[in-house]
Amino acid sequence: MISLVKNEMYKILHKKAIYVVAIIALAGALLMSILDKSITNSFVDLNTMLYEEQLKTCVDIGEPIDIQHCAHAKAGLEQINFIKEKKIVNESKEMYVVRNDLYDAQLEYYTLIYSKADESAIEASKKKVDEAIELINNYDAVKYINTKMEEAKAEQVEACSDPNSNECIAANDDIVAIQYRIDNNIPYSYNDASSSLDSYSSIHAKYLDVRDKNDKFLNYNEIIDKRNSEATYKTAKYMLDNKILTNDYKDYSSGSELVDGFKTLSFFVILIIIMLSATNVADEFNKGTIKQLLVKPFSRTKILVSKLIAVFAVSVIFMFIIEIGINVIAGLVNGDIHTIIGKQVIFNYHTHEAMYMNTIVLSLYAALLSLPRIILLELFIFTMSVITTNAAFALGLGFGAYISEEVFAIFMKKFPFLSYSPTLNYQFNDFAFGAISPYKDIFLTKSIIVSVVSFVVLLTVSIIVFNKKDIKNQ
């Protein structure tokens, strides 16, 4: 049996097509990361066009104009002009002030102008804008933090008239976060640590808001929302408590592309699975080599199963090559390999606790949870290919199955039976660490049953058909 599997793998690995797909995937990744870099550079130009377009509707005095909308566009445009003029780069600390203090001041200023407020109010507002510009020109990170701390303390006094109110707890959190900045030297900026600290207090407020609501009275989206806010808050708290947030910390969403890759699987990985499964048996039938194979002293069941194992093994190997390759390339282009070797905090819904995990370990876990999808996709296409011995047909059905993952999800509300589709139930990454599926009708027990049943049915059908098959003349 082992020699059979080895032979099958040998044959697959000697075909060119699979390498072509892998190379295209990696070349594509290289291109994308280069494009990605240049797109971030042209972010400013893109927004300029957008704001200018929006502003065109704001000059017509005859019609009542949308003040909010126009003030936003005008403030945005001013902000961009400022960034361009002063050559402020994305990663800089000044950028934070530009996009918060300066933007807020300008938004207020232009709102007053568009709403034709009185001169003195406008004058006062203009002053605030000048102050913000002054702040940027003589930027001092420590002073800036201290100012924020003072503001937060004032806020606290106000909010904590009722010490049990959510507002008070949020205000306290604000101070905790700012103190963390001071203690760990994390100035306001757009790095991931600063952003996490920024949202810390608001997350807590939201979490407290939904924490005590009974799931019975919530709809599915509200339940998801509740769970998410708990996860986000506890994750943030864990990072603060364990001093994980440092200036080079990468947060979950940007730090786990490798993990995400193994969760969703790149299209090229899917392409390889579909391609191999559709052609493996059909090609042998069409080229006649199946005859040579079937006169060997092995049962047909063994031959088919070894083919399944070989296709599966090669698919998994190429999943690793492509997913890791894409991230290594992106990491090299961006000069940041945190995405591959870093650690990250994840939330465990079983224990209701956050934990710190190695990206590699997480990737392996995600890869493991992707296996049911790979196996079932492969087995489905394999079965079709065995029944029809027509590679093109099996290939088409394979893509159909892949597309159905999205399409059935859309139509599931209207046609509830679609929730029994294996393609909606083989996504076990949705349940990682006790998470729940984004769809109400998909849950772990059902997914396990649907997956196991379809596995058994497909395997049985393919084995029976393969055993009964008369080898036709060519």
Partner 1 sequence: MKSLLEVKNINKSFGKKQVLHNVSFTINEGEILGFIGPNGAGKTTTIKLILGLQSIDSGEVIINGYDVKKDFNKAMTSVGAIVESPDLYMYLTGRQNLKLIANYYKGIKEEDINKIIKLVGLEKRIDDKVSKYSLGMRQRLGIAAALLPKPNVLILDEPTNGLDPEGIKEMRELLVKLAKEDKIAILISSHNLSELESFVTNTCIIQNGKVIKSTSVKELKKLNETTFKIDLNTSKGISKLLGKKVKIIDDDSIEVYVEKDEITGIITKLIENKYQIYQVVMEEMTLEDAFISVTGGNKID
Ligand X SMILES: Nc1ncnc2c1ncn2[C@@H]1O[C@H](COP(=O)(O)OP(=O)(O)OP(=O)(O)O)[C@@H](O)[C@H]1O
What residues between 12 and 71 interact with partner 1 by CB under 8 A?
Answer: 14-16
Is residue 414 close enough to count as binding partner 1 by CB under 8 A? Answer: no
Is residue 468 close enough to count as binding ligand X by CB under 6 A? Answer: no
Between 161 and 473, CB nearer to ligand X: 473
Between 290 and 310, CB nearer to ligand X: 290
What residues between 287 and 316 interact with partner 1 by CB under 8 A?
Answer: 287-292, 294-299
Judged by beta carbon distances under 5 to 8 A according to partner kind, the member of ligand X, partner 1, none in contact with residue 471 is partner 1
Is residue 414 close enough to count as binding ligand X by CB under 6 A? Answer: no
Q: How far is the CB of 266 from partner 1 (least distance, A)?
A: 26
Q: What's 392's DSSP letter?
A: H
CA 28 – CA 448 distance, rounded (Å): 35
Which element (helix H / strand E) includes 354?
strand 353-358
Q: How far is the CB of 325 from partner 1 (least distance, A)?
A: 24
Could you please report the per-residue DSSP string of 134-190?
HHHHT--HHHHHHHHHHHHHHHHHHHTTSTTSHHHHHHHHHHHHHHHHHHHT--SSS
Neighbours of 16 (CB within 10 A): 7
Between 15 and 469, CB nearer to ligand X: 469
121: tokens are 């109010």
Nearest alpha carbon to residue 373 among 320, 318, 426, 429: 426
Q: What separation in angstroms does the CA of 4 have from each of 67, 307, 460?
A: 73, 8, 20
Judged by beta carbon distances under 5 to 8 A according to partner kind, the member of ligand X, partner 1, none in contact with residue 34 is none
Residue 105, burial from CB neighbour count under 10 angstroms (0-12, 13-18, 19+): buried
Judged by beta carbon distances under 5 to 8 A according to partner kind, the member of partner 1, ligand X, none in contact with residue 139 is none
CA 207 – CA 141 distance, rounded (Å): 30
Torsion sign across C-alpha atoms 260, 264, 267, 273? positive
Between 14 and 472, CB nearer to ligand X: 472
Q: How far is the CB of 471 from ligand X (least distance, A)?
A: 9
Q: What separation in angstroms does the CA of 257 have from each of 253, 356, 385?
A: 7, 17, 34
Q: At what angle do helices 166-184 and 192-211 cross, to 10 degrees?
A: 160
Q: How far is the CB of 315 from ligand X (least distance, A)?
A: 33
Nearest alpha carbon to residue 372 among 320, 426, 425, 434: 426
Is residue 124 close enough to count as binding partner 1 by CB under 8 A? Answer: no
Q: What's 296's DSSP letter?
A: S
CA 300 – CA 278 distance, rounded (Å): 18
Between 256 and 389, CB nearer to ligand X: 389
Is residue 446 close enough to count as binding partner 1 by CB under 8 A? Answer: no
Stretch that binds partner 1, among 89-97, 282-290, 440-448, 454-462 (CB under 8 A): 282-290
Stretch that binds partner 1, among 54-62, 272-280, 283-291, 403-411 (CB under 8 A): 283-291
Q: How far is the CB of 237 from partner 1 (least distance, A)?
A: 58
Stretch that binds partner 1, among 8-16, 361-369, 379-387, 436-444 (CB under 8 A): 8-16
Between 231 and 290, CB nearer to partner 1: 290
Q: How far is the CB of 468 from ligand X (least distance, A)?
A: 14
**Helix (H/G/I), strand (E/B), else coil: 344:** strand
Candidate list 38, 120, 473, 474; residue touching ligand X; CB under 6 A: 473
Is residue 38 close enough to count as binding ligand X by CB under 6 A? Answer: no
* 428-460: burial string, b at 16+ Cβ within 10 Å, e else: bbbbbeebbbebbbbeeeebeebbeebbeebbe
Q: How far is the CB of 388 from ligand X (least distance, A)?
A: 16
End-to-end CA distance of the chain: 29
Q: How far is the CB of 13 from partner 1 (least distance, A)?
A: 11
- HSE of 172 in the Cβ direction (CA atoms, 13 Å)? 12
Q: How far is the CB of 387 from partner 1 (least distance, A)?
A: 17
Is residue 464 close enough to count as binding partner 1 by CB under 8 A? Answer: no
The footprint of ligand X on this chain (CB under 6 A) covers a number of residues equal to: 2
Torsion sign across C-alpha atoms 463, 467, 469, 472? positive
Is residue 116 close enough to count as binding ligand X by CB under 6 A? Answer: no
Q: How far is the CB of 390 from ligand X (least distance, A)?
A: 16
Between 128 and 469, CB nearer to partner 1: 469
Q: How far is the CB of 463 from ligand X (least distance, A)?
A: 22
- Provide long-range contacts, Cβ within 8 A and 24+ apart, for 161-168: 166/205, 166/208, 166/209, 167/205
CA 300 – CA 79 distance, rounded (Å): 71
Is residue 472 close enough to count as binding ligand X by CB under 6 A? Answer: yes
Contacting residues toward partner 1, per CB under 8 A: 3-4, 6-7, 10-11, 14-16, 287-292, 294-299, 468, 470-471, 473-474
Contacting residues toward ligand X, per CB under 6 A: 472-473
